[in-house]
Structure formats: C-alpha cells, structure tokens
Structure 1
Amino acid sequence: MSLDIKKTYKLFIAGAFPRSESGRSYEIKDKKGNFIANPAQASRKDLRDAVLAAKNAHSSWASATAYNRGQILYRIAEIMEGRSEQFVAEIMAMESVTSKQAQVQVRQAIDTWVWYAGWSDKIATIAGSTNPVAGPFFNFTVAEPLGVVGIVADEKSSLLGVVLGLAPVLAAGNCAVLLASQKRPLSAITLAECLATSDVPAGVVNILTGLSRSEE
C-alpha cells in the first residue's frame, strides 16, 4: 500500500528553501480539478527578504568574470538536462499539453541557458564602445550591471517564461527576484533546485510563489 504524499513546494531565498514567513500555502490543480501540489504563499516579508538577499549578493556576482558567469549558466543547462523528465511531467500537468509539446519547451529552456552562457563574455564588447572626442583624452562607454531586477514570470509558459526572464539578467551580472506564475509555479521551484546545485551564489536568484496580488 502506497502513501499519497501531498508535497509542499517552498520558496527559494538566499540559496535556501524556507517556508513562507506567513506559514501559508495554496493549492494548485489541473484543468480536471485534480490536486497537483501545495506551493508556499509568499508574503511581503518574504519579498523583502528576497530583495535583501539579492542586494547582498550583487557585489560579488557583478564583479565575477564574464567567463565565470557563462560557465555557471552552462552548468545550469547541464543540470536541467538531467532533470528533463521531471520538467516534462510538471509542464504536462500544469499546462495540459502533450508530452511532445512539453519536451519542446524543456529543450528550448535548456538551449536558452546555453545561448546566454555564450553571450556572457560578449556583452561588454557589443554594448560598449570607444567614443570620438575632440581632446587629448579617451571616452568609453562601458556596460555595467544594473543591480537587482524584479521579474514577473510569464503565465503562458511555466518553464520557458521563467528562463527567458532570468538568463539575460544573470548573464549581464545582475541579481534577480522572480515571482513565479500563480497557477503554474512548479517548474520555477524545480528550476530553483537546479540553481542551488549549479554554483550560482546564494542570493543571486530568489524565487517566490504565491498570489499575484496580496492584501498583506
């Protein structure tokens, strides 16, 4: 006799997986009304903690070499590939798509990480320039990381939407606080588990689940 365990998915803040400060969670179901999981319902306090973690991590991430950031992004792709079956199963459950459609989305998400891994050490060359000036001095335009970027994940694509938001932000040396899709958050949390084992420094990426609007 097997025991049906109702899994509760946690938040991802500062490299750890805490429960929501509020202690709340909410149910997500498929289109047939079948229970899928209990994601944590993040509060404003959780959001503040995530922003603080990202701010604390920004200095070291921004000062890392572009080559090093690219290697870490490529490592994320490798780990995701090893968990492809789990991503496919979650996408099928949440989006009610076929296995083939889910596999395409997972492949595109992995390829996106590889794409931006390759761009990491080229951004400065493309975005920067030497500007002509009338004087005995030089004038340069240099791309610099912005800091902490807030991302609201696309509701239509539970995995690819998250990756398309995160990858360019990390490649450019920024940190991120991402609010996962309210109805389709599982792929985002599974991605967080990949990030936690891929050499991404704690706090560089923080992922929250919960309601898109909060009264707290």
Structure 2
Amino acid sequence: MAARVAGTAWRRTLPKSTKAMEPAPVRLSVRKTYKLYIGGKFPRSESGRTFVVDGDNVALASRKDARDAVVAARAAQPGWAGATAYNRGQVLYRVAEMLEARRDEFAALGVPADEVDAAIDRLVWYAGWSDKIAQVTGGANPVAGPFFNISAPEPTGVVAVVAPAGLLGLVSVIAPAVVTGNTTVVLAAGPQVAVTLAEVFATSDVPGGVVNILTGKYAETAPWLASHADVNALDLTGVEQRELAGELERAAAGTLKRVIRPSAGGTDFTADPGLRPMTTLLETKTVWHPKGY
C-alpha cells in the first residue's frame, strides 16, 4: 500500500507538458467586406476596387457594375410586375419580418432603435397598399357613347434611385417603387447599412434583380444611370448638391425619363409619406371597350 501511495505522489509531481504551458492562440475575427448586390447575388466590383469606410472594406462600383445592375433589373421587371399585388405585399411584409429579426445588426452599425422601428413600420405600411393603390388611382371613366372606358395604373419599369443616407431613407425610396411593380437600381450613401439591408432583401423572398444596390461615388456612377436608355425613371432624393442634381436631370432628359427632384429643404422621412411616392412611379393605361347589346 505504501508503494502505491508513493507512486501516486510521484506521478502528481511530474511537470506539465510543454504543450499545456503554451499560451492559447488569439482568434482573429473574420473581417466583413461589403460587396455590391446585383441580381440577387453579392459580387465584388468588376473593377476590383474598394474603399474604406469606418475601417470596413466597401466595394467601389464602376460604370460596368451600373450596367450589370440595369440588366438585372430589366430582366426581373416583367415577372415582378406580373405578380399579383397581394403577392408583392406579402413579400414586402416578409422584408419587414426579417428586418425585425436583424435589428441588432443595424444597432451595431449605429442605427437608432427608433429609426429601425420606423423603417419596419414603413415597410408594413407600403405592404398594406400593394393591393389597394390600383383601386385608388384607377377606375371606370364616364364617356359619351356605348363604351367602357377604364383607367388602370401600371409600373413605370426600371427606376434608378440616388438614395439618401440612413435606413429609414433607404426604405422610404425603395419600398414605394417595388410595391407598385417597378424594379430598382439603388446608389447607396451609407454602404454598411445599405448592404446589410440588401442581405435582408436576399433572405426575404424578393426575386433577384428587383432590388440592386451599388456602393461608391454618386458623381461617378449616377450620370451613367441618368443617361441609360433602359432606365425609365430617376429618383434624385438623396442628391444634396444642386449642381449634380441639375446635371443628372439634364442627362435624363435625353431619354425622356421621369425625374423625381430632391426637396429644396430636404425630406422628412418620419412624416406620413402619402401616396405620392407610389403614384409618381406609375403610368396610367386607359382601355376603351364597346358595350354589348
């Protein structure tokens, strides 16, 4: 028994292994690179360029990226416009659900909690209008003669948006465009928030190409979208420089685009948006049909 105890004591006094004495390795977290969002995917810029924002690498969109985004938006537009208004409302409501689930990510990016709440509520509000806007803006017209005369709203098509900074501003310019059947190419001011919102769209049943988000310099990519022949409307809400807004509007005139001008005193996105953001991006189709006897 004494020998066994002595042996036990001897084993307890053995030195620790060298491996156990080594310090634990320090784990480096994976650094996120904020990419573009085109056609439902997250590519890097075709130019390979990036720029740094608050220590994060962000893709710097090029003219070719803008063209690719327009191609994706045009390809998605017929299917999105052909979906039922109820379905578009369901999809937009799903975006609100996913934004609610990822609110902590936006808080980590510095977005105030009340702004996240307002953005979620704004999405739900527009989702509710999806199957009602046609009833408000369309209808049967009185005519002299044996005809039915019916006016019905249709989406304008592909809308290029120079977006304002902030989550609520982004949602307030994207939602009215897509809920009415348009597709969008968005130039985003706050890249981290915009690309994180793109991740919400990508996981919310939004078909690829309905929303495309580019990050970079407005002055570099916006002129190509303004003059692009396959873009039907141009929203300049996020343009703060009056000179740049004028240049973009003149470029858009060459292809007869519909232009939404920025408000002189800025836009209060916390106010009731009303129907104008939706109706501005709708065309009215009027159909005549003879009455039977």
Same fold, TM exceeding 0.5?
Answer: yes
Report the 3-state secondary structure (helix = DSSP H, G, I; strand = E; otherwise coil) of the residue aligned with 1:203: coil
Contact conserved, 1:91 with 1:159, CA < 8 A, in 2? no
C-alpha RMSD of matched pairs (Å):
1.4
Where is the strand percentage greater, Structure 1 or Structure 2? 2
Q: Where do 5+ consecutive residues of structure 1 fail to align?
A: 30-34, 93-101
Of 18, 22, 28, which aligns to 1:3? 28
**Equivalent residue for 1:107?**
117
More RCO (CA 8 Å, sep 6+) = 1
Query: Partners of 1:88 and 1:166 in 2: how far apart?
Result: 21
Report the 3-state secondary structure (helix = DSSP H, G, I; strand = E; otherwise coil) of the residue aligned with 1:48: helix
**Equivalent residue for 1:193?**
199
Contact conserved, 2:183 with 2:211, CA < 8 A, in 1? yes
Report the 3-state secondary structure (helix = DSSP H, G, I; strand = E; otherwise coil) of the residue aligned with 1:213: helix
**Equivalent residue for 2:59?**
40
Query: Partners of 2:27 and 2:117 in 1: how far apart?
Result: 33
- Residues 1-216 of structure 1: pairs in structure 2 closer than 5 A: 1-29=26-54, 35=55, 37-92=56-111, 102-155=112-165, 158-181=166-189, 184-214=190-220
Q: CA deviation at 1:190?
A: 0.6
Contact conserved, 1:91 with 1:187, CA < 8 A, in 2? no
Query: Partners of 2:77 and 2:216 in 1: how far apart?
Result: 25
Contact conserved, 2:163 with 2:170, CA < 8 A, in 1? yes
Contact conserved, 1:70 with 1:121, CA < 8 A, in 2? yes
Contact conserved, 2:59 with 2:215, CA < 8 A, in 1? yes
Report the 3-state secondary structure (helix = DSSP H, G, I; strand = E; otherwise coil) of the residue aligned with 2:154: coil
What CA deviation, in whole Å up to 9, does each residue of 1:100-137 have, x standing for no partner? xx001000001111000000000100110211100000
Q: Which runs of 4+ in 1 moved over 6 A?
A: none
Query: Partners of 1:201 and 1:69 in 2: how far apart?
Result: 10
Report the 3-state secondary structure (helix = DSSP H, G, I; strand = E; otherwise coil) of the residue aligned with 2:216: coil
**Equivalent residue for 1:99?**
none
Q: CA deviation at 1:91?
A: 2.7
Contact conserved, 1:26 with 1:40, CA < 8 A, in 2? yes
Q: Where do 5+ consecutive residues of structure 2 fail to align?
A: 1-25, 225-293
Letter of the 2:114 partner, please give it.
Answer: V
Query: Partners of 1:26 and 1:211 in 2: how far apart?
Result: 10
Query: Partners of 1:118 and 1:160 in 2: how far apart?
Result: 18
TM-score by length of 1: 0.88
Letter of the 2:129 partner, please give it.
Answer: W
Q: CA deviation at 1:5?
A: 4.1
Report the 3-state secondary structure (helix = DSSP H, G, I; strand = E; otherwise coil) of the residue aligned with 1:208: strand
Letter of the 1:75 partner, please give it.
Answer: R
TM-score by length of 2: 0.65
Q: CA deviation at 1:212?
A: 1.4
